[in-house]
Structure 1
Amino acid sequence: MPNKLPEVWLRGSLTSMPALLQPVAHALLQAREELNELMEGFPEELLWQRPAGLASPGFHLQHLTGVLNRLFTYARAESLNHDQLAYLATEDKPPVGDYSIKSLAKNFNEEVDKALTQLSTTDEQTLTQVRGVGRAQVPSTVTGLYTHAAEHTMRHLGQLLVTVKILQAGFNADGVS
């Protein structure tokens, strides 16, 4: 049996990360590790399958990337641009052109890297500053956005895990094996 590392949060502090943002960074790093392990060897032909009406693995992979991008944009007090809105509109559809599980995982990994960079340069004094979310500019805070990014990422990772396991067990769209 391979020697498995403890979960990221049990491996110690991240030296480049502000103390108050360590939990967010740990969660994102944990999600990245688990996602890459989960998707290793997953069959491409199952990527857009929706067993029992669940969201497809492809949706979760795209959504995980898109949500991080959007929430971290709001944390910077920026509005979404045209490309981000277009991405949001197509998260539940297979990308146009050449795509694969490997490329979707790579996109998520790169978004986690961007998020970690942003976290590492965040002044802790800004964490309680108000930020608007979405077109309606619903008020949140920088820490609220970062915390939601972490919990939302872990929630969708859990949903992805269940969907992948169901598909690997051979269940069809009606939930029948």
Structure 2
Amino acid sequence: MMNNKKPEVWLRGELPGISTLLQPAAHALLQSKEEVFKYTEGFPEFLLWKRPAGRASVGFHLQHITGVLDRMLTYAEEQQLSEKQFEYLRNEGAEIPEIKIDHLTQAFTEKVAQAIDIFKNTAEEKLTQKRTVGRKQLPSSLIGLYFHAAEHSQRHIGQMLVTISVLRNQNN
């Protein structure tokens, strides 16, 4: 029997045009994107906003990883969040029936593509530049923001997988 499964993104080699220092963040974001589609394939829409044991819904995780990535990219550009971004943040996890899995996975795909383009255009010497986060202007760096966006998405993908597993098990 032949195994056609690809290795994880980080084991497929260097991504062209991206600094060696940003390869791990790019790999993690691309892995998250693949896993979003893998884990939500065939997932019933009626379970999207269910919160088993009071935990976050699959819909929340999908919205949140997109929102965090967007916010980290904004801080990386030394900007503050817009009112539209604050509204998105306030609505993360809110059950909005017209929002479907396809909408959420597409939004994350687009945000990951934007991040990869930014990584390709970021010179290594800029990565240690100071950046601040949020209204409190908490200290970080450019590479810190990019890394956080990547690892944060991976963490929520893991949580989303558990939620999907629980919901599928409860509804079989």
For residue 114 of structure 1, what is the aligned residue in structure 2?
A: 114
For residue 28 of structure 1, what is the aligned residue in structure 2?
A: 29
User: Aligned partners of 2:121, 2:155: CA distance in 1, in Å?
Assistant: 26
Q: Aligned letter for 1:78?
A: Q
Q: Aligned letter for 1:122?
A: T
For residue 143 of structure 1, what is the aligned residue in structure 2?
A: 143
Displacement after TM superposition at 1:5 (Å) = 0.3
Displacement after TM superposition at 1:18 (Å) = 1.2
TM score, norm. by length of structure 1: 0.93
TM score, norm. by length of structure 2: 0.95
Match runs of 1:57-72 below 5 Å? 57-72=58-73
RMSD of Structure 2 on Structure 1 (CA) = 1.4
Unpaired runs of 5+ residues, structure 2, are none
User: Aligned partners of 2:3, 2:46: CA distance in 1, in Å?
Assistant: 29
Q: Aligned letter for 1:127?
A: L
Aligned residues: 171
Deviations 1:109-166 (A, max 9, x none): 1111111111111111111111110001101000111111111010000000000000
For residue 131 of structure 2, what is the aligned residue in structure 1?
A: 131
Q: Aligned letter for 2:167?
A: L
Secondary structure in 2 aligned to 1:140?
strand
Task: Show structure 1 runs of 4+ deviating over 6 A.
Answer: none
Secondary structure in 2 aligned to 1:139?
strand
Displacement after TM superposition at 1:98 (Å) = 2.8
Query: What is the aligned-residue identity percentage?
Result: 53
Unpaired runs of 5+ residues, structure 1, are 172-176
User: Aligned partners of 2:114, 2:150: CA distance in 1, in Å?
Assistant: 14
